[in-house]
Amino acid sequence: MNDIAKKELWFISGSQHLYGAETLEQVRRNAGEIARGLDDSPHIPLRMVFKALVTTPEEISNACQAANASQACIGVVLWMHTFSPAKMWIHGLKLLNKPLCHLHTQFNAEIPWKSIDMDFMNLNQSAHGDREFGFLVSRMRIKRKVVAGHWKDAPVQKKLGVWARTALGWDELQRLRVARIGDNMREVAVTEGDKVAAQLRFGLSVNGYGTSELTRRISDLGESEVSALLETYESEYHLAPELLKKGPKRASLAEAARIELGLRAFLEEGGFMAFTDTFENLGSLRQLPGIAVQRLMNDGYGFGAEGDWKTAALLRAMKVMGHGLPGGTSFMEDYTYHFTPEKSYVLGSHMLEICPSIADGKPSCEVHPLGIGGKEDPVRLVFNSPAGPAINASLVDMGNRFRLIVNEVTAVTPMANLPKLPVARVLWEPRPDLETAATAWIHAGGAHHTVYTQALTTEFMEDFAEMAGIELLVIDPYTSLREFKDKLNANEVYYHLFQQRM
């Protein structure tokens, strides 16, 4: 996983020279104390480093350039303790290419009613200093997160924590290499897209590889590696009787282990943290990778089936964002519906590739025919997923821009056992209801593939869309179809006017 310990956020405070050296020293001390307080916060998983008090255009530009150049700095938190005339910020903000969070806070929480005088007023000016700064950032059309409230309050720190985690995912995308093994499922539209535009927008690179890359590594494997992995399977999962040591399908499990080892070696050697495959282009691979993909996702790799490189990249970014949080994150597909007069549900699943990070308990390891692709029966992990709130996120290429669509859902326990269903699955109730959510999703052009997560909330995706400068559409308990359609039309105009694809 991305090395969180080496990453940091820079806290920079703005002021000006009008107040004199003594006041500026106080400003510096206060800003340092806020940064230390945020650094110690249990809600912010990254180091918060007080970097500078800046009072001139030169100091501001220097601080922004230093942030750009720093490998460790993945985002900048700005706060104007006093008034900081914002024309001083123009050059610096033109240069800044790291995510920006404007913390609108104040050093003291409450007004000292009895002692407040003009010195106090002149020191504690963020109420108007931050507004001057906010105007300029809006005037420059720079997307950022604004967090308002007292810096010691948990809700403020939690918002900063969400933004910090999202910045970590964004930082990961800047270097992400996605291996597209076997290209796209033939004739499928939504998994395609402009890879050059994606690299310009998100930083990630996508390149194609043949399955011979995997089969070559599989043929190099020693038997001891395979037996060691079989032992891991035995200890981590409930193996179906036919896959046990003397079972009739043991050879299928050994082949699945070889595929995992070959795939893992290929990804590690190439520095790929996300990948796709497609059942139509398996070459001489004997099974569609099932358990291999599931376990790689569980280790943090992004994955998209049928060549879906956008979902693979998004999954990797969301895995990084959610690292260490409770709840799992998986590749997902809206598979089939359960309509009842009272409520309707989606059964989410895939042919094989659901990440065991969302498993409720120990998965069972089984082998069944796939019924598609004409290969040997693939081994897969089968499990249910816990009930509770979750989101589904889909990244699509609209031709002139990328669009991120998020649906808030509630996972529920299936009403019955599913004894004959040989794949991992989740049953959920979309917000506001299936009919409204699915109608909105289809109008938005949302894909059948998504990233499903119980670790992240819509707020993360909102911050992510701001960092990437892409369109975000949220389907939540408040979604009304008429307003949603108006928003789609309004966004067409907005992106036509303000954001032409690079």
Min dist CB 304 to Mn ion, Å, is 8
Stretch touching Mn ion by CB under 5 A, among 46-54, 175-183, 188-196, 326-334: 326-334
With binding defined as CB under 5 A, does residue 317 bind Mn ion? no
With respect to Mn ion, which residue has the nearer C-beta, 4 or 188? 188
| Total interface residues for Mn ion by CB under 5 A | 3
Residue 133 is inside which H or E element, if any?
A: helix 126-139
In angstroms, the first-to-last Cα distance of the chain is 30
With respect to Mn ion, which residue has the nearer C-beta, 55 or 407? 407
With respect to Mn ion, which residue has the nearer C-beta, 242 or 280? 280
- DSSP helix/strand/coil, 391: strand
Cβ-count burial of 336 within 10 angstroms (0-12 exposed, 13-18 middle, 19+ buried)?
A: exposed
Min dist CB 165 to Mn ion, Å, is 28
Stretch touching Mn ion by CB under 5 A, among 213-221, 327-335, 339-347, 364-372: 327-335
With respect to Mn ion, which residue has the nearer C-beta, 333 or 462? 333
Min dist CB 306 to Mn ion, Å, is 5
Cis peptide before 477 (omega within 30 of 0): no
With binding defined as CB under 5 A, does residue 395 bind Mn ion? no
**Token output for 410:** 């509630």
Per-residue string for binding with Mn ion, 330-369, x by CB under 5 A?
---x------------------------------------
Min dist CB 409 to Mn ion, Å, is 18
With respect to Mn ion, which residue has the nearer C-beta, 385 or 450? 450
Min dist CB 185 to Mn ion, Å, is 8
Q: Which of 58, 52, 34, 29 is nearest to 44 (CA)?
A: 34
Min dist CB 317 to Mn ion, Å, is 20
With binding defined as CB under 5 A, does residue 305 bind Mn ion? yes
DSSP 326-372: SS-EEEEEEEEEEE-SS-EEEEEE-SS---GGG-SSSPEEEE---SS
* Distances 449 to 294, 354, 364, 497 between C-alpha atoms, Å: 16, 11, 24, 30
Min dist CB 308 to Mn ion, Å, is 7
With respect to Mn ion, which residue has the nearer C-beta, 240 or 315? 315
With binding defined as CB under 5 A, does residue 9 bind Mn ion? no
Min dist CB 305 to Mn ion, Å, is 4
40: CB partners within 8 A, 6+ apart: none
Q: Which residue is nearest to Mn ion (CB)?
A: 305
- DSSP helix/strand/coil, 109: coil
With binding defined as CB under 5 A, does residue 293 bind Mn ion? no
List beta partners, residue 180.
208, 276
Let me know how long the chain is.
502
Stretch touching Mn ion by CB under 5 A, among 95-103, 211-219, 300-308, 412-420: 300-308
Stretch touching Mn ion by CB under 5 A, among 52-60, 197-205, 266-274, 329-337: 329-337
With binding defined as CB under 5 A, does residue 473 bind Mn ion? no
With respect to Mn ion, which residue has the nearer C-beta, 333 or 466? 333
With respect to Mn ion, which residue has the nearer C-beta, 306 or 408? 306
Min dist CB 488 to Mn ion, Å, is 25
Min dist CB 191 to Mn ion, Å, is 8
Q: Which of 224, 357, 370 is nearest to 289 (CA)?
A: 370
Interatomic CA distance for residues 37 and 29, integer angstroms? 12
Stretch touching Mn ion by CB under 5 A, among 36-44, 279-287, 301-309, 324-332: 301-309
Which long-range contacts does 20-29 make (Cβ < 8 Å, 24+ apart)? 23/82, 23/122, 23/123, 24/53, 24/55, 26/123, 27/53, 27/81, 27/82, 27/123, 28/53
What is the distance of C-alpha 186 from the center of its chain? Answer: 28
With respect to Mn ion, which residue has the nearer C-beta, 130 or 306? 306
On whether the CB atoms of residues 253 and 367 are closer than 8 A, the answer is yes
With respect to Mn ion, which residue has the nearer C-beta, 213 or 353? 353
With respect to Mn ion, which residue has the nearer C-beta, 266 or 303? 303
With respect to Mn ion, which residue has the nearer C-beta, 172 or 333? 333
On whether the CB atoms of residues 342 and 215 are closer than 8 A, the answer is no
* 10-21: b (≥16 Cβ within 10 Å) or e: bbbbbbbeebee
With binding defined as CB under 5 A, does residue 78 bind Mn ion? no
3-state secondary structure 179-203: EEECCCCCCCCCCCCCHHHHHHHHC
Residues that bind Mn ion (CB under 5 A): 305-306, 333
